[in-house]
Chain A
């Protein structure tokens, strides 16, 4: 039925010719095993005759052993992972499965698991054209149905099908079907979903999967397979949007050819079309659409191509080529929706790498407006986003990027966030709109600048950033260094942990996110002082690499000198000048670095002072030596 066997055996060449014209549909199935999701996928694979005899034999054997369907084949066993797989504890589980019919090839993103549901579903949904929401006819619309619906609409899956399964267990009742349909429609309207398709079915018995069911004569709609074979795919919709292509690679085989390779995110492009390169804003026209198969007369959304232009304009990887009439927007600050995907929570103030299209920029979350409860869609106040948390966040970048709102274009409006230390993908985000703030606040150019101020002081301003455990000797060394600099006639300032916490940062505690904010403020202050031409000494535990890197990145190349006051924990604890370690050990002091809060030692500090091997005086001399060596003084 799915593959016309007669044609295969009689005229394979004609069959192949027909099948070259098949389209591709990617869909996601949402629901738990209890809803019959695995059974449905197994059934689809079976009906499309994509199961081989050896696989089927294996499943038949397993069905007898483990199956829940008596002597019948338990389709769920086809898709549920092996026991060994489960033991491995793969936490992000999106399994991709494939089948095809005479009309289409299908890629199913199967996202099992309740625990990591948000992360898995968002991952699977990000490439899907259709979402099939499984509903158990006996149980109706549940919390999870709402959650799946919310996520599907958030990710902007164009088509939602509600598969009302297990109709055989409710006597194929039309009343039940209508009730579920009404419940769902009422709820879907609240979150702005206008169109939904409902199909009553039984994956187990095969009703309305590929053949219209005789058990439900009251239903006149399409079967699930019929729906999947005919629904419009995303690429076709994207052809109607304005032309966008992020440049992946500049193709320069010789001096005569300069092409820009990329995949069309949207629109149609033809030679002669006027284009604009972003963010530069320069314009030109398309000369050729070059491919291995010859030059094309036009290219459409979804194709990977190489463009050449009629003018020599400067375009590199990360730039976007767009229609000149309807170009993408430019922005640096955005309101976004972020879905957090890592155990380490998102902290406002911390910087991450943002990868949007082919561009990677530095981003920091400047504020979380609210978090969304995925079950109730309520908005909650939040200081950080935990794993699977979804929040509306303001994000600020270090430079301009070209973008479209996610609702207008999934490719040019979506991004991932990458942890700068671990390189993990920690979050996914959708751009809602650009914040206009960025256009109103511009840097004031003044006649008296950093260079002039520094010249007057005959020194190069910089930040000497001492990091180390409590009691490692940071403040003592910093004090000595400042004395020596002062004696030599230099202009300095010492920012010390305790002093700053008494004033500027007295509203902050010692939780991880407060520590991040603490360092951000100190780094900003240090930056202002460097601008004033001073040599700034900063003495803070500053336990996280990410924040020290943030401080480094705020300053110019060479202005940040990281000094690791390297004292082993035992030695520092033994010294315990302020008696804090004892308190922490007794449990009276929470979040104490080295005891119940981590310290991430620098990997490549400018200077590593092993304090057990030297006196504070010697350590201070080493710092002075380094400054001379770097010609700061």
Chain B
């Protein structure tokens, strides 16, 4: 049926044949029929031909020679082989299968070396934090609903083999594919540590999951519960249909790690020295102290002059800093204004949880507002596009909320360093009665003297963080141990790739292409907004210092991850005039 059991030479012959067919204009389906090679193999062979001619097609001749060995039997070649199909014995890949593969090529390896390879390739599952846990305990923690359901008695569960698995993104060092998703592995692991997997090039789809489960079922020949760390797989009709015909397999999914005891990313562990009454060692204020004092001064001015101020709260890191400063500015009183969250309904679930917990903890008042017309019309970023979604849910929603509650001054967390056009924005930015920003009618700001006088109907947006940079924000969060949404820190999350941007599949409303399955990747977010509009970045940074380190060493600016800015070049400016911050 395919070339898995062939020798490298025979396989290379088939690959050449495939490329010849491709060059003569045959479709992938036809080539597959004729050669028995899979689509990714054909594409990969063709790409190699384009890059390096006929010689490059031969897989045995390529790859980095490892510890003096050349020819067949290198790690790279093993991965290539894996991408092309199943091991020689026809089952799923396991550590033993890899060991055999190397053994057959006169290159015996220890299991330790193989584990290292698996880790390098990205196939090894994320290290378990709960090492001594039993299968049933694990199941209770990750699927309380399933275990608790009356249909599933303990005895019934205990009879079955429990496997945890997921879809991992492969790390292919091939220079042809440098960015995005270029390969994946579907894997499961039992509670004795045994790993079964299947690797493929391209993006994961539901068919390959069925294929994997079929093989797994055939190989283990017993009843089992498979729990995938992934987006819900029951949304795929073909998977559902296939499962219906299988009595042996129960498929469960969980999207995020179960909520641990500490909800927010608080780096409480490595607490700094000073919190209580302290004497600074030098008399001069540091840059963060000066910025803090300035922001507090601005907030107090607003509160003294405004009739009905409000703080716009977006749950992001800048909002977190702004709220923290407000707590400082009015201490021991609570901030004498409410927070306003203009919700679009499309924020990450972690953001909502974080928001509600924080507000409760701090004892501040929170108003949430969602544009009722937008909700009624079912405005969403997928069918209506990011521009319309933002306009109706965010811009319109904000105006409606300000009008409804008659807020005359609104604090916003925008900073001047965010982009070029913001460099000239005032700290006190005036808006007409219909919330438009008139660039010609902004007041000069001298010394610390802010003119907040206004006519009835006019309103002011005040940006207390104007002079902070992204680095200042992160340093301050770190120094002051300000809680932030965990999404800023790297973790395994289900993502799909759209136009080169990684989008997290946060709930079932995210439309996927037919059969498209998200895979788990270690990602984090540099900015937070509506999840369908916010790109994730692949990152290992799971602590604040690591984030700052990554930021200082990365070379792309913050807003790159925000799809909203891609819509049109001067879009930010236009949005501001229309009333979006």
| Residue ranges of A at the interface with B (Cβ–Cβ < 8 Å) | 3, 5, 8-9, 12-13, 15-16, 19-24, 52-55, 81-82, 84-85, 88-98, 100, 104-105, 107, 110, 119, 122-123, 126-127, 233, 235-236, 239, 248-249, 251-253, 257, 259, 261-263, 290-298, 300, 302-304, 306, 317, 341, 353, 355-358, 410-411, 414-416, 418, 423-425, 428
Contact = CB atoms under 8 A, between A and B. Distances in A.
B267 to A, nearest CB: 11
B405 interface: no
Contacts of A15: 549
Contacts of B276: 293-294
A108 B38 CA distance: 59
Contacts of B331: 290-292, 306
A249 B471 CA distance: 30
Contacts of B448: 127, 263, 411
Contacts of A296: 277-278
Contacts of A235: 284-285, 290
Given A24-B287, A252-B333, A261-B300, A292 B327 contact: yes
B419 to A, nearest CB: 9
A52 B277 contact: no
Given A261-B330, A296-B277, A424-B443, 6 more contacts: A16-B548, A85-B421, A110-B423, A291-B328, A304-B329, A411-B448
B262 to A, nearest CB: 20
A263 B329 CA distance: 11
B545 A303 contact: no
Interface string B526-562: 0000000000000000000110110011111100100
A236 B285 CA distance: 8
Given A52-B557, A248-B300, A81 B420 contact: yes
Given A52-B555, A251-B332, A263-B297, A23 B286 contact: yes
A90 B440 contact: yes
A237 to B, nearest CB: 10
A236 B270 CA distance: 32
Interface stretch (B74-82, B90-98, B343-351, B449-457): B449-457
Contact of B423 (A97, A252, A290, A416): A97
B442 interface: yes
B258 interface: no
B222 to A, nearest CB: 49
B283 interface: yes
B545 A16 contact: yes
Name the residue among B296, B446, B455 with the largest chain A CB count within 10 angstroms. B446
A54 B424 contact: no
A440 to B, nearest CB: 31
A358 B443 CA distance: 18
A428 B451 contact: no
B290 A24 contact: yes
Contacts of B288: 20
Interface stretch (B166-174, B177-185, B472-480): B472-480
B440 to A, nearest CB: 6
B279 A98 contact: no
Nearest to B551: A8
B320 to A, nearest CB: 15
A410 B283 CA distance: 20
A97 B573 CA distance: 18
B296 to A, nearest CB: 4
Contact of A23 (B287, B293, B454): B287
Contacts of A95: 423-424
B177 to A, nearest CB: 21
Given A54-B560, A91-B440, A355 B447 contact: no
A106 B300 CA distance: 25
B89 interface: no
Name the residue among A22, A105, A410, A415 with the largest chain B CB count within 10 angstroms. A105
Nearest to B328: A292
